[in-house]
């Protein structure tokens, strides 16, 4: 249960987003759909873990080591860009640019008002242990960059007076503004055999989870329904924080998916559904899910299905029945 100060700190965080959206028109918020295809590469995970530890060392360590660690931090980013590509590094910086200052506000509130032992322990766990707690693949990735953005804000506060005004007026990403103020250079990084060994093992486990989740999806009871769209439907809603990219074209949704086309609609809440996409999450070619047999109806060339979790009404052109599966070609 949140304490009163934790509640107000989180409210302060969200109010800063209101300020950003209303007054900082140049600020680009992150596109959560990009996270679905973020590369799961152990080399990236190893360097990222080292990078996060450098940030904590700059925040909590001696001031005379900051310059050296900023150079290493800058060099880590350059190496990781070569591994994951500009698109995904830009995703990280977009999270930092909007969420970093908001998380900084949340932290500063807790630092000022969270004076009990329990609240101090919460501060350490929420803002600092979370920064360096090992995570691999896409697991916890977005939260990592909330905290790495916050750490950059803390360091800027020590170097530049009223940096917030200049940052928001600059039109730069937070990391670009940070590097402009610290003026780092590329340096050689130490060998990271321990980081790489751990990342190789745990990143492989994260990838294996995708296979396991797909197998569990296909082992559900009920009738399997596969809907093939002749014309691409409109994605009217999905929950990117609870959508799992199995591979480049398969996405497993667990909490929300809404599709529509003219008078046709599919609304699903809190039930697994697998989508096959073409290049991006928005370009859905077909979906599969499981329902009880008594939830299925066909009326006037329209497929109808209703349970507590989903409602579907979609005109179809053709249907096939194979044992416990329906395959429907839709408009």
C-beta atoms surrounding 115 within 10 Å: 10
The pLDDT of residue 323: 82
Residues in CB range of 143: below 8 A, 6 or more apart: 130
Q: What is the DSSP string of 100-157?
A: HHHHHHHHHHHHHH--SHHHHHHHIIIIIIHHHS---TTTTHHHHHHHHHHHHHHHHH
**Cβ atoms of residues 175 and 167 within 8 Å:** no
C-beta atoms surrounding 58 within 10 Å: 24
Residues in CB range of 330: below 8 A, 6 or more apart: 227, 228, 229, 230, 264, 303, 314, 315, 316, 317
pLDDT digits (tens, 9 = 90+) for 70-127: 999 999 999 999 999 999 999 999 999 999 999 999 999 999 999 999 999 999 999 9
The pLDDT of residue 324: 86
The pLDDT of residue 134: 95
How far is it, in rounded angstroms, from Cα 33 to Cα 12?
A: 26
The pLDDT of residue 176: 98
The pLDDT of residue 280: 84
Q: Which residues of the chain have pLDDT under 70?
A: none
The pLDDT of residue 279: 80
């Amino acid at each position: 249960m949140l304490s009163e100060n934790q509640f107000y700190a989180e409210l302060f965080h969200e109010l800063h987003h209101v300020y950003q959206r209303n007054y900082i028109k140049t600020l680009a918020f992150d596109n959560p759909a990009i996270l679905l295809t973020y590369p799961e590469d152990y080399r990236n995970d190893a360097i990222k873990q080292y990078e996060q530890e450098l940030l904590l060392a700059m925040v909590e360590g001696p001031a005379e080591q900051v310059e050296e660690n900023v150079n290493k931090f800058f060099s880590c980013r350059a190496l990781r860009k070569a591994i994951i590509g500009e698109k995904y590094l830009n995703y990280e910086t977009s999270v930092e640019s909007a969420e970093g200052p908001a998380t900084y506000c949340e932290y500063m509130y807790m630092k000022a008002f969270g004076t009990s032992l329990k609240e101090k322990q919460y501060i350490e766990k929420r803002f600092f242990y979370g920064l360096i707690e090992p995570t691999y693949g896409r697991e916890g990735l977005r939260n990592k960059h909330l905290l790495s953005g916050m750490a950059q804000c803390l360091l800027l506060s020590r170097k530049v007076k009223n940096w917030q005004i200049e940052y928001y007026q600059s039109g730069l990403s937070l990391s670009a503004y940070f590097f402009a103020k610290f003026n780092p250079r590329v340096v050689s990084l130490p060998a990271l055999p321990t980081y790489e060994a751990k990342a190789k093992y745990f990143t492989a486990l994260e990838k294996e989870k995708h296979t396991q989740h797909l197998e569990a999806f296909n082992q559900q009871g009920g009738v399997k329904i596969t809907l093939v769209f002749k014309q691409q439907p409109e994605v009217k809603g999905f929950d990117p924080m609870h959508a799992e990219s199995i591979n480049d074209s398969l996405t497993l949704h667990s909490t929300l998916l809404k599709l529509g086309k003219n008078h046709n609609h599919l609304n699903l809440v809190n039930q697994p559904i697998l989508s096959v996409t073409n290049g991006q999450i928005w370009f859905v070619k077909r979906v599969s899910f499981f329902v009880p047999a008594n939830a299925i109806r066909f009326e006037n060339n329209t497929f109808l299905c209703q349970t507590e979790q989903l409602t579907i009404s979609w005109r179809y052109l053709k249907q096939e029945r194979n044992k416990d599966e329906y395959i429907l070609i839709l408009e």
